[in-house]
Amino acid sequence: MAKEYDVVILGGGTGGYVAAIRASQLGLKTAVVEKGKLGGTCLHAGCIPSKALLRSAEVYAQTKNGEAFGVIADGVRLDFAKVQARKAAIVEQLHKGVQHLMKKGKIDVYAGTGRLLGPSIFSPLPGTVSVEMNDGSENEMLVPKFVVIATGSRPRTLPGLEPDGEFVMTSDEALQMVTLPSSILIVGGGVIGMEWASMLNDFGVDVTVLEYADRILPTEDEDVSKEMEKLLRRRGVNIVTGARVLAETLEKGNGVTIQAEHQGERKTFAADKMLVSVGRQANIEGIGLENTDIVIEKGYIQTNEFGQTKEAHIYAIGDVIGGLQLAHVAAHEGIVAIEHLAGHNPAPIDYTMVPRCIYTRPEAAAVGLTEQEAKAKGYDVKVGKFPFKAIGKALVFGEAEGFVKLIADRNTDDLLGVHMVGPHVTDLISEAGLARVLDAAPWEIAHAIHPHPTLSEAMAEAALAVDGKAIHF
């Protein structure tokens, strides 16, 4: 028998489960359909497991290099099975947490694959959602007033460089590695590529990054790309930018070899394994979009600023709509969509206020426009930059590389963008995000007294530097 709901959410990843919680808070009868595990990519194949591995890599590298702190640890060894077990335990703890939150919110969870059947005489818009149950039991039929599509994304592959279970991996397979390779070729120097380059280098793996663009992290501020490239090269990561990988030259056997065009020459690269990290593609297949009027553009579901698709009763959020494919974005899009369908008046997301974080060592983080974007938009910019080497706490930490860079409009003093490379900047960036939301000018950021000694002083100093008033540099 069909079951009626106010909202049915397809996909229980970060976007989907957060949307479900907000719907339940608003008193809506809510169901989530999840074919894999609640928590989705972020919890099981993304943010959390990758950061757990990164942390182990950081501890390993730090322990080996403790001498500078006067800490001599002889015979430091890596137990990679334990590294993986720690990762799995963190994921499982959070997975239980999400399951608990669904119960607490009285949200029905269907373990199966959801599909839109379209409207019929028995089921008005948006129509029935059928669920093919994972346990093989009879399909469930759900009749909702609204549907939220939150089916997420999966790794994009390159023809000829598909994962093969042995030599070529995407992040999905890399996260499950049982042993570490002694060397790796990483195709794509974006966020995943550079996080893995940093992590594997810390684990002692010989890393080469082949990036097509003329710089790594090509969507970030040029100064961030430059600094990160310099620091990772110094640690021994081989970074090749402007490299056109020739997939058809891939050879496997005793590891992998592949050719790439670089500076007008064909060069051969070899390693034990290859990681392909060239972006992600939306999960739009097999969910019944052909039974709707939903518009797809460049592989992503099109929505208005509230997540509403061309069909007013169907919303879409998270990675499946493209844009910034980040967990916190998916979650906020979920909240906006639910509040909108519930008849509230949510503010649409201003994507220039979304923090972007990269968990390399050192970390990078940004919010708002890059200097290049600001100039291209016609702003007369003023820039304040302050290095961590002039921050006492960074020296105490033994991590004094990098900087904080603020970009402001010379005419209005508006804060346009903040870019950071350095210790714990993924935590420091929230202040910049708040400043953007509150429309704080750089002088107002500096007016807020920053405690000493903290890493946050770099933000205050960079804000002062915008007007040439930095104290310590």
Q: Among candidates 300, 298, 357, 316, which has minimal Cα distance to 46?
A: 357
CB of 408 to ligand FAD, least distance (A): 26
Q: Does the footprint of ligand NAD cover residue 49 (CB under 6 A)?
A: no
Q: Is 156 helix (H, G, I), strand (E, B) or coil?
A: coil
Asked if 14 interacts with ligand FAD (CB under 6 A), we say yes
Helices 222-234 and 191-202 cross at an angle (nearest 10°) of: 20
Nearest Cα to Cα of residue 124 among 313, 277, 396: 313
DSSP bridge partners of 253: 255
* CB nearer ligand FAD, residue 41 or residue 259: 41
- Examine residue 61 and tell whether it contacts ligand NAD (CB under 6 A): no
- Is residue 220 marked as binding? no
Residue 245 touching ligand NAD (CB under 6 A) = yes
Q: Does 187 bind ligand NAD (CB under 6 A)?
A: yes
Contact status, residue 401 vs residue 231, Cβ threshold 8 Å: yes
**Residue 358's binding partner out of ligand NAD, ligand FAD, none, with CB under 5 to 8 Å set by partner kind:** ligand NAD
Listing DSSP states for 4-53 in one string gives EEEEEEE--BHHHHHHHHHHHHTT--EEEEESS-TBHHHHHHSHHHHHHH
Listed ranges 32-40, 228-236, 354-362, 374-382: which one lies at the site for ligand NAD (CB under 6 A): 354-362
When the beta carbons of 38 and 364 are compared against ligand NAD, the nearer one is 364
Residues contacting 355, CB < 8 A, separation 6+: 328, 365, 366, 367, 429, 430, 432, 433
12 binds, among ligand FAD, ligand NAD, none (CB under 5 to 8 A by kind): ligand FAD
Q: Which of 5, 8, 9, 16 binds ligand FAD (CB under 6 A)?
A: 16
| Phi, psi of 30, rounded to the nearest 5 degrees | -125, 140
Nearer to ligand FAD, 14 or 62 (CB): 14
Of 134, 129, 116, 117, which is closest to residue 36 (Cα–Cα)? Answer: 134
239 is in an annotated binding site: no
430 is in an annotated binding site: no
Residue 163: which H helix or E strand, with range? Answer: none
- Return the number of the residue (151 or 277) whose C-beta is nearest ligand NAD: 277
Classified as helix, coil or strand, 282 is strand
Q: Is 417 annotated as a binding residue?
A: no
Distance (Å, whole) CA 448 – CA 320: 39
**Are residues 249 and 210 in contact, defined by beta-carbon separation less than 8 angstroms?**
no
- Give the Cα separation of 339 and 319 in Å (integer): 19
Least Å distance between CB 39 and ligand NAD? 16
Q: Select 214 or 350, whichever has its Cβ closest to ligand FAD.
A: 350
Site string for ligand NAD, 265-284 (x = CB under 6 A): ------------xxxx----
174, 186, 210, 258: which one binds ligand NAD (CB under 6 A) = 210
CA–CA distance, 344 with 22 (Å, rounded to integer): 12
* 344 belongs to the catalytic site: no
For position 357 contacting ligand NAD by CB under 6 A, the verdict is yes
Is the bond into 348 cis (omega within 30 degrees of 0)?
A: no
The entry of ligand FAD, ligand NAD, none that residue 279 binds, CB within 5 to 8 Å by partner kind: ligand NAD
Identify which of residues 207 and 383 has a Cβ nearer to ligand FAD in the complex. Answer: 207
**Catalytic annotation, residues:** 452
Chain residues that interact with ligand FAD, rule: CB under 6 A: 10-16, 33-36, 40-42, 45-47, 50, 113-114, 150-153, 171, 192, 283, 287, 318-319, 325-328, 330, 359
